[in-house]
Amino acid sequence: MAPKKTPTHQGFDVSELARKSAVSVASIKFYLREGILQSADLSQPSREYYDGSHLARLRLIRILRDVGKLPIKRIRDIVKVLDRSESVNLESIGDALAALSKGGLGRETAAVKRAKAEVCSMLKDQKINFTSDSPIVNELAHALAGVRRAAGIEVPIAMLAQYVDPMNAIATLDFRSMLNFIASGNMGHSETLGYAVVGTLSWEPVLLALRKILHEHQARALLGAGR
């Protein structure tokens, strides 16, 4: 008896895609219409038009919507960056992370411009490699200016500088974890960059919650309120 041939296409139909991704069939069809889920391969038999790349994209969309609370327009901008990248390099990773930056921050006031100049100068002094016109730098400048405005005091840039080394250590752990994960799998360029986006966005609330716990720990340790 001749051995059975192993199929080259490991696909599934839309119902199985919905089950595997925990996304409804109606939502999958909506994402296809909106262009944020790549088109199905209609040449495949038995309606098995979808594969692992569709599953990975749906998981990305779920995190962007459920965790990031991003609207469809922002998600579309992010997946465009992922889909146009031909390789995983410094520029493509920077573009993918910049796409996560908040939009609609308002006009660049004199206070924001001054905060941005201070941020750029501080990062250069700290020997941090960054792009000065990145949306992320603009987001940081708006955030710093907002803190100063809300507090009613001139929060010194030196206070922010104290956080560079600890945050850089966290970023190093993030990227080592990401590179180890990528090395262990067989992902395409878009899926790899999608993992970078997912890691950045989904891990933020976890780290913020841990920071709050450590604040309590420090308060107990420094104020002598240990139990």
pLDDT given at position 217: 94
Q: Where are the alpha helices (DSSP H) in the chain?
A: 14-21, 25-34, 52-62, 72-84, 90-98, 110-125, 135-151, 157-161, 164-184, 189-223
Task: Count CB neighbours of 221 within 10 A.
Answer: 10
pTM of the model as a whole: 0.74
Among 150, 61, 70, CA closest to 102: 70
The 8-class DSSP code of residue 142 comes to: H
pLDDT in tens, 153-193: 999 999 999 999 999 999 898 888 877 776 766 666 666 77
pLDDT along the chain (227 residues), means of 10: 46 90 94 90 73 88 87 87 71 75 77 96 96 90 95 95 95 82 66 74 88 94 72
Task: Count CB neighbours of 93 within 10 A.
Answer: 17
How far is 79 from 191, CA to CA, in rounded Å? Answer: 10
3-state secondary structure of 50: strand
Enter the tokens of residue 115. Answer: 């905060």
pLDDT given at position 227: 54
pLDDT given at position 167: 94
3-state secondary structure of 63: helix
